[in-house]
Each structure stands twice: as structure tokens, then as C-alpha cells.
């Protein structure tokens, strides 16, 4: 098995992901096997190239607008990683209706509940959102109560009610910072039904129908010359 080839492929694909959110999850998944790749992993990565071949003219659309509202989405695939049983967070941020940032991250800790996994994902989504908010402030654009869409009601209740429940004692303190920002009114966490949770694309492999539906909603369209 040619390790150099595998790593070369990963490197090239990672570069492509800077404007192709659709392949981010698959590339990140393959990336984890870089230290000891097998033939089976090479087959998987070749499939990504086969997908790219059919979508060479897929572009990310940025519409002209004066809408400076920041919107975040956060989702998680609980224990999605089969080897270490860690969860996968998916985040994306929109400025107005344009997608400007996306991430697929395997969480650093193994968690005991979906609520905890979602809570960690919401926290990492808000750090990114806050950073963008500060960037916008440099251009004298002030935005408050930036919505974060989450499909887990436990997380929404936990973040709005700053009481330390006995059930959440195991949550790492650093993830609780989100409460402070919600109280200050800088962030606003809201419920979204799983159907409209675009972060599915960053947390798990999807069926063709769902994959194309989300791609369309992330403003990815085919460009014809």
C-alpha cells in the first residue's frame, strides 16, 4: 500500500474543501487513517475523486446583499466514530444568506449523552460566530442576538437556564461559556427541525436525495459557461 499516494490525495482534497463543503466530511474521515492506510481506505478515497469528476463545475454562490446577519448551525453525530466512539460536530455559519464558514470536527472527548455532544458542538459553533462578530465590528457592523440553530431541545434549555443541574455536572466548564453570551443577548439559540439542519452534511454520509437537498441550501449550484 502506497502511503505517500494516500497522503498526497488527502492533501490535495483538503485544499479543495476550502470551497467545497460537500466533500468535507468524507475527506476528514479518510484523513484519520493517514498513519496506517489500507487498501480499503484507498477505495473510499477514490470514490471521492469519482464524485469530484461528476461535479467539476459545482460552485459556491455568493449573492450580492447588504444583509449582515450572522447565523450559525450546529449539529452532531453521536458516537459516529466507530473506533474510539467519539462524536462528530458539524458547524456552519452564514452571513446573510451566504455560506462563509464550515467545519466538521471529531470531538476531543468521549461523551455519555447526545445532549452533551450537542452542547459541545453548540459551544464550538458559538466561538466561531463570536470571532466573526468581532471581525465585523472592525468594519463598524454590529450584530446582536445572532441566532444559532440547534435541533436538540435539551441544549436550548440548558443554555438559557444558568443553573447547575446535577445531571450536567460531568459537562466540562469550558462548554458552559455559551450561557453567558446568551444572557448578554449576543447569541440566541433557537430550535430547528432536523429536516432543515444543513449540518447533516458535515457529520455523516448521506443518501443522494438528502445530499443534493442540503447542497442546494448551502448555495452550491452547477455553473454552466
Rounded to an integer, what distance in angstroms lies between the CA atom of residue 6 and that of residue 36?
10
Q: Helix, strand, or coil here: 101? A: strand
Q: Which is nearer to another protein, 44 or 168 (CB)?
A: 44
Q: Which is nearer to another protein, 23 or 178 (CB)?
A: 23
Reference 7, options 41, 31, 43; nearest CA is 31
Q: How far is the CB of 171 from another protein (least distance, A)?
A: 29
Q: How far is the CB of 13 from another protein (least distance, A)?
A: 8
**Helices 153-160/177-184 angle, 10° precision:** 70
Q: Which three cell numbers stand for residue 207?
A: 443518501
Q: Which residues bind another protein (CB under 8 A)?
A: 5, 8-9, 12, 15-16, 18-20, 22-23, 25-26, 29-30, 32-33, 36, 38, 40-41, 44, 46-64, 66, 82-83, 139-141, 204-208, 211, 221, 223, 225
Rounded to an integer, what distance in angstroms lies between the CA atom of residue 143 and that of residue 68?
8
Q: Which is nearer to another protein, 13 or 150 (CB)?
A: 13
Q: How far is the CB of 24 from another protein (least distance, A)?
A: 9
Q: Which is nearer to another protein, 23 or 76 (CB)?
A: 23
Q: Which three cell numbers stand for residue 154?
A: 435539551
Q: How far is the CB of 47 from another protein (least distance, A)?
A: 6
Q: Which is nearer to another protein, 5 or 112 (CB)?
A: 5
Q: How far is the CB of 105 from another protein (least distance, A)?
A: 17
- State the sign of the Cα–Cα–Cα–Cα dihedral 157, 162, 167, 171: positive
Strand order in 98-106's β-sheet?
Answer: 98-106, 88-95, 70-77, 146-150, 187-191
Amino acid at each position: 500500500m502506497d502511503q505517500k499516494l494516500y497522503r498526497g490525495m488527502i492533501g490535495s482534497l483538503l485544499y479543495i474543501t476550502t470551497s467545497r463543503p460537500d466533500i468535507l466530511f468524507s475527506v476528514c474521515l479518510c484523513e484519520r487513517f493517514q498513519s496506517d492506510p489500507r487498501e480499503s481506505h484507498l477505495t473510499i478515497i477514490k470514490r471521492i475523486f469519482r464524485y469530484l469528476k461528476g461535479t467539476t463545475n459545482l460552485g459556491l454562490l455568493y449573492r450580492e446583499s447588504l444583509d449582515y446577519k450572522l447565523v450559525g448551525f450546529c449539529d452532531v453525530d453521536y458516537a459516529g466514530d466507530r473506533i474510539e466512539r467519539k462524536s462528530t460536530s458539524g458547524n456552519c455559519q452564514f452571513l446573510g444568506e451566504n455560506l462563509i464558514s464550515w467545519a466538521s470536527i471529531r470531538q476531543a472527548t468521549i461523551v455519555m449523552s447526545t445532549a452533551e455532544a450537542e452542547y459541545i458542538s453548540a459551544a464550538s459553533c458559538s466561538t466561531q460566530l463570536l470571532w466573526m462578530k468581532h471581525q465585523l465590528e472592525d468594519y463598524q457592523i454590529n450584530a446582536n442576538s445572532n441566532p444559532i440553530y440547534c435541533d436538540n431541545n435539551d441544549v436550548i434549555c440548558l443554555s438559557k437556564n444558568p443553573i447547575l443541574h446535577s445531571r450536567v455536572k460531568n459537562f466540562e466548564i469550558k462548554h458552559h461559556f455559551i450561557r453567558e453570551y446568551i444572557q448578554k443577548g449576543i447569541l440566541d439559540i433557537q430550535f430547528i427541525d432536523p429536516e432543515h439542519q444543513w449540518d447533516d452534511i458535515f457529520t455523516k454520509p448521506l443518501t443522494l436525495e438528502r445530499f443534493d437537498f442540503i447542497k442546494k441550501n448551502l448555495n452550491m449550484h452547477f455553473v454552466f459557461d
